[in-house]
Homo-oligomer: A and B are copies of this chain.
């Protein structure tokens, strides 16, 4: 009996156990292969290893650094490209809207909707934020085509149009995915999508090396998206942390820093202030003059963390049901296209209704508003609701954080929050490249500012700065949805640019995670589960130590010998290849493939 559990036997045979799913339900999808992150130490490898001179090793090390430098530069340049394009397209859109007034909303969105739907036909894996896929890749799951050049192109073009089209999406998540593709592509020196091969860096063409560069790329993506190089490194570690290595961390950090620097440098150049390197991210929360807090504030922030956790759990639950529905009924390309167009239209209609219903007219003159929209307001005034909805979402977040007291009313903010939450829930998972960070921040900043205004109404002498509460609300909402911990804290601290406000941000993220985790996992883990990806959790389930492999293995065990005819291997593969759950372990010459 107990002998069955032993995977190593005396004669050095190569066990090969297969298993049909234990339950009727399909638990894990068979379409994912596992990547092999262990060096396969056979005699061929040893011979090659021995043939390398010290100079070869130095050259390889130098190439590694060089590739990490390139990853940073290219990722930064892509971020710059996205940023500038969106800025220019937004300008065009604004001019167009100004001249066409309300009629445009439909036009505008529909045009963009048609454009961004290239994703559906281009490369389905480019949809969404890409973060769950990258997380899987970094943890040893081969997600088909996730780091292909074609995916990158679809992602970048798609995100341009979905952001400018006014969908409830951000460009930050896709930036992380883009960086990862850059990392994979540059390190391999070839692009499978377009069938060219530079024939360089052949040494790096192993799964483990590729993973290292992909994590560098992901970090560079975060660094460019949020101007958070340290946050980028932590993101790569927290999400892809089935490995950890000081040397690698150091190189990832280098990519991350380069990317942030490249973006800041290019943006400075573009804006005519070439020496200004102080704004190194796609999103910046703007400059806060005074972010003081005391114990009372901290207590209120903690309560806001609870709200964020609850609201995040609501978001995730709604999204889970939607995703399940979508998996079942929206499977054809036409269906997916229709859904994308539908989301775009509903977004436009809702915006329109909101602006018409909530007449939040403000006198012009607030210089932070880049595109004041008059819409249904008397001359000399602009609609703050329209500003919230038609600026780029990043600018809207900044408005909520910094606009003077009185720009927004509590009712206006509530009226904005709820529909936007529903739309954002719906949008995440539609077949367009869409980041989740910015919509979450926007929802949170809106209700956070509402809390701040409310407190100020109750205690007129205290709580004079609603922007502070908007920032905390944003952190709470985002934390409640994604449930990242230390990396998110650092990302938000770096984006805020104020270390002293770090403690409240951490407290809020911690509370939001605790509360949210009570109801379920974070949205990325949820999507990984929904995709039936066989991702192993951090720790084995408690008290599983006594469960023997026998309990999940089929009987009789199928064995392959160390020397085996190809026909027999093919036969075994054909017989068990479609089984829903594989448990295999191969030991040959010290090479141990992970259990899938």
Contact = CB atoms under 8 A, between A and B. Distances in A.
A485 to B, nearest CB: 5
A253 B506 contact: yes
Contacts of A46: 545-546
Interface in A218-259: 229-230, 233-234, 237-238, 241, 244-247, 249-250, 253-254, 257
A575 interface: no
* Copies of this chain present: 2
Contact of A247 (B278, B497, B502, B539): B539
Interface residues of A, number: 64
A587 B563 CA distance: 29
Interface string A27-41: 000000000000001
Contacts of A238: 246, 249
A506 to B, nearest CB: 5
Contacts of A293: 277
Given A260-B503, A294-B277, A503-B260, A49 B546 contact: yes
A539 B244 CA distance: 12
A295 interface: yes
A514 to B, nearest CB: 10
A322 interface: no
Given A50-B546, A275-B295, A280 B489 contact: no
A253 B484 CA distance: 13
Given A499-B497, A500-B497, A253 B486 contact: yes
Given A244-B241, A538-B245, A257 B57 contact: no
The A interface, classified by DSSP as helix, strand, loop or mixed, is helix
Contacts of A250: 485-486
B502 A254 contact: no
Contacts of A245: 538-539
Interface in A421-440: none
A461 to B, nearest CB: 15
A543 B246 CA distance: 19
Contacts of A497: 498-500
A166 to B, nearest CB: 31
B546 A486 contact: no
A494 B507 CA distance: 17
A503 B49 contact: no
Contact of A52 (B292, B296, B507, B543): B543
17 contacts: A10-B10, A45-B545, A46-B545, A49-B543, A229-B503, A230-B230, A237-B237, A238-B249, A245-B538, A253-B485, A254-B510, A257-B506, A261-B503, A277-B294, A278-B500, A497-B499, A497-B500
The 10 A-B pairs with the shortest beta carbon distances in the complex, nearest first, are A275-B294, A244-B244, A10-B10, A497-B499, A278-B500, A494-B499, A46-B546, A246-B538, A250-B485, A257-B506
